[in-house]
Structure 1
């Protein structure tokens, strides 16, 4: 059996778990999304750096191709005739340091020095070559020891003749290979088997430090590539992730708060009751009322039981007060009323037989109870008498007295349940004019004792007799209690002495002589729980 505190704590705990889980999930997803986005941005920045370097160098080398076509025919022409034209090309191209003409393996003309007679292999051991070459090397003529990019174009007729163009690559590296931190820590130009790194000069081998990664892109037009070295985009994104944490925390807390609001109905007792009604988890029980004079059944009190598959049996003392707090007591009452109408044939068809239905005071507002009775009870033309039982724990003075009068004019009786336990006031006995007072089981249990409640029981009996109100004693469990109540003029008794609450379907068998309902119902044990 569940308690109200345990059930409510369970709902709050589940809501809290869901909210925390979604908040944590939102935090992880936000950080993950930021991580992926930052990593992609880092990758794009490295790629853009490489592409910019590639594009810049290609834009420098493309004009050299056209210049080579114009200069190669000059090979073999006397230097005095060719130097001026070579100087014009060198000046126009700007990045070209010098142009040299080679004939029979001899550098015989330079755009800077004019006529020369130097074996070219003394200056550059790779030359001459039958194939075009592009490679990094060291300058041995003008700025000795400085890196240069050398372009060799052989003549079509001889591998010993050709044009040599020297590009001032050291100046270019300061413009295009300067690293962009933190994405690029090092930038290297690779031509053939040589490497030129910004700030380090010409290298024969490139090493990548631990924790760093390299990215390399080759030119599609010329024989060179660019390598960048730096932190991996993922590691860099991860290192920047703490800066995203405040925003992610705010977003996750917002998601958690929205979830808390959104689950207020979905994960609440009101939702549980609505699910129970929709799934027909509730069942109407009844407890017989017997005549104190001849022990004949003169009526029943309808009781609602809830076998919740998620919580187990939930006591009416738990779910009815909670339903009242959630303004769901009226739907429960309608359910009991509709179920009772469908079982009317099991009850004695007599106007002297009373069917008692517990109703909350809030159900009387604006005649809501009358509308419900007109919808289900009155169209059934029930021969039995309906008694609406208001518990004294409700705010009875707030009951609409006009609705009470209308009900009594329709033949519906009014009973005050648990009389003497709540907001006792003799004034509303007159204003409500109840037909029945039901003595609470706590007073019945005090009979035969010296407790104050025993005296109160006598006072309630005397009061009802003085006002002409019928009495029903609840909680009769011993013959001594029954004898005392009978001797003091209480005509109707209700309690375990005569019958426990039973499903409506079991009432006919009890009425035929069985005093107790079967110990199990629908394969489940019927719990011993309070009447309400």
Structure 2
């Protein structure tokens, strides 16, 4: 559905299609439309099921890695060395919240509390391996999934953060009923755990994992068929035989409103609807402005300001993220270059980039043009690596990194601790800045495990002599917790939400 159909938006072609629709009404029937729509809808939903199983499998693979790593500790006494080995897996492996040792129905050693006796029945685990939980003693309202690795009645229990599973369901369940089912329990797209699944009315689809005892389920309701037609098969509406001329007029209007998602992004890019918003980054000690992160927003003419999580994944998948980022850099360059003298010395601008940017060398040209615009008062340009797609090590990649370093561009590891390759990036690429993910900062003071993770990440970054940015700082308690570490930079709503450029200039530069 990603074919370019920009000509559909031109009034002349819309009129021709409307006339053609009227002529074709008598020849094509409702049955053909219904069949075509059902096939497309099943295909898309099957793809959603496959994608959700793939992503959940990846999350559980992390738990399996943690369990396999401490496999040698099964049956070992709960000594300080054993506890440290368990805690190291929590700090090292993405998505893992706890690692525990058990024998029979007794948990006797945990990464969180050390030597602690707790009980859990082996019969509660689906397939003897997985169990959904609405929370634990530390975070009773924070869901997780327990992964059990058993060896002759003894083994390892790994708690996987339900936050990531919840995000998978939320991102893939738009306009559909999609749940994760483990045994007789299931998680909805709100992160709530339920027992016994009641199917809504509609066509049912399910896909079980080939590696773990769970399955993803969804339902295609009658309204889904109509929604699919309006979103992806507008031209098919002209085939309804009873609407005749009315359908021709409706087609003219609808073709001006609907298109494929990729087409909508292309049109928005051509009309310069993607605009930069800036979130201040402050000094970790005196909280004075030192830079900003440039965040993309979609200024839609009908829907208003659209946040990035609703369109960035598709932009990255389609490759449109590259020209969109180039537009962001050009807009910031053109607005802030003429007022470079107003910027504090050493001011930095951060832009998010992904794997698509590393497929050619145009990024180097964009960065050079940006830096050259601030010759009056040089700034630091920071490129923040995201991990939604893996950056492969190729000749182009290494050449690009080398060129960027020669220009003085700084590379930041964004959302550290949540991606699938954070440690690999630190090892394979020269990283200058490490940004601690807001999901850990946000739980400081409420989740002991999050505090341990933050402590370990800061220690790791300082050992590697990396600049540290704490993202998502929202409360005074979080500021007080981070202050003794004397971090270089802080960022979050405590200091400011993202602002439009003019507002940012008035509030942070002129004041």
What TM-score comes out, normalization by structure 1 length?
0.48
Q: Give the greater-gyration-radius structure (CA).
A: 1
What TM-score comes out, normalization by structure 2 length?
0.50
